[in-house]
Amino acid sequence: MDKREGALVDDSMNRGTRGLSGAAKMGRGAASSETKVLDDAKQAILNTAEMQKAGGADRLAGLSKTVHEAADDLGDEMPKAASYIHAVADKLDDASSSLRNRNIEEIFESVNDFARKQPAASFVGALVAGFALSRVLKSTGESEMAKSD
């Protein structure tokens, strides 16, 4: 191989190395942009879940207040039943506070732990939640159809 051919080979190798280096940088850039997109999506989901959690805690607190009022109304006629109803309302208050004071990741961890320890109860809970969700969706669809008529 003469000098000129050697120089061409060296030049080609240098270009190939630079090309591989550039491709590696592009690959790392693509991987970091994918990670950023995933992180942004995760954050958006967590923000939405936090808003839903706050709304759920508010609804539980409202339900607790309503149950306490019902127990107060019942108190004169059936004091023993009223005390049980107040106890249920207190549990609803506790659940509302617990929901409000814990972050989403802690709640998911608790649900997972419960599901591992009580799979049958988790299955029944999932069935009940699915049934309730289907009823809510059905009633929402029916009310929107009634509005459009």
Q: Identify whether the C-beta of residue 61 lies closer than 8 Å to the C-beta of residue 96.
A: yes
| pLDDT top residue among 136 and 70 | 70
As a whole number, the mean pLDDT across the chain is 78
Please give the pLDDT value at position 9.
Answer: 47
Compute CA distances 14 → 9, 23, 26, whole Å: 9, 14, 18
Q: Which two tokens stand for residue 32?
A: 């970091």
| pLDDT top residue among 145 and 64 | 64
Please, where are the H alpha helices in the chain?
A: 3-74, 79-101, 104-117, 119-148
Asked whether residue 87 carries a pLDDT value surpassing 60, the answer given is yes
Give the percent of the chain with pLDDT over 70. 72
Please give the pLDDT value at position 43.
Answer: 86
Q: Which two tokens stand for residue 117?
A: 């320890």
pLDDT tens, residue by residue, 60-72: 898 889 989 988 9
